[in-house]
Structures are given as C-alpha cells and as structure tokens.
Amino acid sequence: MLIKKPHDIKPSEITDESHYLNRRALLQSAGLMAGGLLLPSLFNPQTAEASVALDSYPNLKASAFSTDEKITTYDNATSYCNFYEFGTGKSDPSQYASKVKPKGWEVTVAGACDKPGQYTLEDILKPHALEERIYRLRCVEAWSMVVPWVGFPLVDLLKRFQPHSRAKYVRFETLYDPNLMPGQKRNVLDWPYVEGLRIDEATHPLALVVIGMYGKQLPMQNGAPLRLVLPWKYGFKSIKSIVKIEFVEKPPRTSWNLSAPREYGFYANVNPAVSHPRWSQSRERRLGSWGKQKTLPFNGYAEQVAHLYKGMDLKKQF
C-alpha cells in the first residue's frame, strides 16, 4: 500500500519538533516527580498508591505527526478515564485497575487473512520500532487531552497477518474477564467491548497501536497492554486492552453503536458540525482547564484523513 506523507508538515518543523520533545520529556518527568512529592495521598489515593511498577521506554523515535500543544498532566490522563470495564465513574478505572497487571497476554488473529492464530504479546510487539506520538484525543463527552503515546503504526501490524482483499473491515475486541474487570459484572454495555474500522482507516498512518504513554508502559486503566489510538475519531473508537483482531467483510457491530445507534455512529469522526443528542460538539474542554476551545473537524487531522470520507454525507454517516 502506498502511504503518502502528509503535506502540511515541513521538514523544518520535524527537527524543531524532536528538540522540543526532549525538552518536554525532561520537564514532564521533573514535574511528575515534584507533583509526587508535594501531593500527599489525601485527595488522590488511587494514583498515589499505584502499586504496579511500570517499565519505561527510553530512546523513542519522535514523530512528524506530533502536536506541540501543551501536554495534559500524567495524573489527569491516568486518573480521569472512560473504561466501563472497570466501572462507569471517571475515577473507577484508576481505582480498580491500577493494581492489575496483565500477565501472559495473548491476541487472537482471525478472519480473512493468511496468518490467523494465537499470538503472544511478545510476538505482536517484537518486530516494531517504538515511537512517541503526541496526539490530541477528543472524547465524545466534549472533553479532550493531549497525550504522548508510545507505539507503532497499526498498518505495520496488520500487514504481518497478510489480510485478503475481501477483508474490508477490521474488528477489535477487548478482554472479557469479570474477575479482572469488575465493571463487566454489570450489563452496562454488551460485553465484550467491540470496535471496528474500515480497512483504509485501519491502515492509515495516523492509526496507532499503543503500548505506552509518557515514555512508560500503559497503566491498566488506560488500556494496557495493547490498545488503539485513532486521533481523528471520538475516544470510544480507540479500543483498549485488545485480545482479538479479526478481518471481516461487513462492518462489525460496535458496542456503543449497539447501545445507542442514534448517538454513536460507526465512523464517529470528530465533527463539530454534527451535534450529539447529549452534548454540543462545537467546543471542548481540555482536561485540567476551566475554559473551552473550538473543536476542529477530524480533531484537527482533516488534512491527513478527510480524503478517506470523500463523497460521504458525514451528517448521516456520523
């Protein structure tokens, strides 16, 4: 598949970016340490007693796709999560997931491809060079954050399984284990969580397989050990804790779409012009901030992805 470089990024910006990144990383870790020292566990017990030690990833490749916007604090990005598998409250995931460390993780690959089978996490990760990408993430609930993710392009992973040409869609499934994920004991959604992409979306260079954030392993509440990040779509498309990848011919039924089809479409591209029955999508609030800012079409990634949806009525296919 031919992957064109996005035309909005000049080479000069790329060099600047990597310098900027290093400086950012330093500031970030210094801030984290200071924050950890100053804030006692009184108000944030769930983050203070994070008992699982997370490995860090040094020497990450910087990415031209990264934004230079102000990065959301680590505390905010890891304590305010929508991960209904661990409960529907925003702090439930960090409270119930921080002590869980997934072991012996396996991913099933199935459907229309030459190399289906059971893959260990090591099999999945081995051939890929990790990079850091600072993306905006826009939740359908009208809040957003800027997170330095660690991962590699989804297209590189999917290619290894040699999908057939009749594979028009990719279906992803989250772990179903009510003992590990107490939120699954209640039928808030139809478990397991399912998400899906059209194959051209899944193979777009912006689509990222993520295993870490802020230079470290993903905390469980953010979707460890393996998740997607699709920055031009609402957050619920970026499925967490993946155990199954399937190449299919028809659009898969996705969890939120099943739960409320009028509210959550299959595409779920960030679109300020399509108002959601619960939230106006024209503006958003960055985590940690009091004010609001305008939401951009495709979350500011229009130049890279808009061509995927040419000729579609985005008000109907939302």
Partner 1 sequence: MPAFLIKSVVFLLCLSPAVWLAWQAFNDQLGANPVEVLTHQSGLWTLRFLLLTLAITPLRTLSGWRYPGRLRRMFGLYTFFYALLHFLIYLALDRALFFDDIWQDIAERPYIMIGFTTFLMLLPLAITSNNRSMKRLGKRWKQLHRLVYLCGLGGVLHYLWLVKADLLNPAIYLTIFLLLMLLRIKPITTWLTFRRPSLFSH
114 near partner 1 (CB under 8 A): no
- Do 160 and 117 meet the contact criterion of CB atoms below 8 Å apart? no
User: Is 186 an interacting residue with respect to partner 1 (CB under 8 A)?
Assistant: yes
**Least separation in angstroms between CB 63 and partner 1:** 25
Pick out residues in 230-259 that bind partner 1 (CB under 8 A).
259
Based on the shown chain and the rule CB under 8 A, indicate whether residue 291 belongs to the binding site for partner 1: yes
User: Minimum Å distance from CB 13 to partner 1?
Assistant: 29
* 76 forms part of the interface with partner 1 (CB under 8 A): yes
Which listed range, 11-19, 23-31, 165-173, 288-296, lies at the site for partner 1 (CB under 8 A)?
Answer: 288-296
Least spacing, CB of residue 35 vs partner 1, in Å:
11
Considering only the stretches 76-84, 120-128, 171-179, 307-315, report the one whose residues sit in contact with partner 1 under the rule CB under 8 A. Answer: 76-84
Closest distance to partner 1 from the beta carbon of 100 (Å): 21
Q: What is the DSSP string of the chain?
A: ---PPPTT--HHHHHHHHHHHHHHHHHHHHHHHHHHHHS-TTT-HHHHT--SPPPB--SPEE-TT---SPPPPHHHHHHS---GGG-SSTTHHHHHHTT----S-EEEEEESBS--EEEEHHHHHTTPPPEEEEEEEE-TTSEEEEEEEEEEEHHHHHHHT-B-TT--EEEEEE---TTT-GGGGS-SS-SSPEEEEEHHHHTSTT-EEEEEETTEEPPGGGTTT-EEE-TTB-GGGS--SEEEEEEESSPPPPHHHHH-TTT--SS-B--TTS--SSS--SEEEETT-SS-EEPPGGGGTHHHHGGGGTT--TTT--
Q: Is the dihedral of CA 297, 303, 305, 311 positive or negative?
A: positive
Q: 227: which strand partners?
A: 210
Residue 131 in contact with partner 1, rule: CB under 8 A? no
Asked if 91 interacts with partner 1 (CB under 8 A), we say yes
Interaction between residue 188 and partner 1 (CB under 8 A): yes
Please identify which residue in 137, 154, 157, 287 interacts with partner 1, judged by CB under 8 A: 287
127 or 288: whose CB is closer to partner 1?
A: 288
Q: Which is nearer to partner 1, 108 or 289 (CB)?
A: 289
Number of residues in contact with partner 1 under rule CB under 8 A: 30
Which of 11, 58, 104, 277 touches partner 1 by CB under 8 A?
A: 277
Window 4 to 43, contacts with partner 1 (CB under 8 A): 43
Binding status of residue 189 toward partner 1 by CB under 8 A: yes
Both tokens of residue 187? 């039928």
Which residues contact partner 1 by CB under 8 A?
43-44, 72, 75-77, 79-80, 84, 88, 90-91, 143, 186, 188-189, 259-260, 275, 277-278, 280, 282-283, 285, 287-288, 290-292
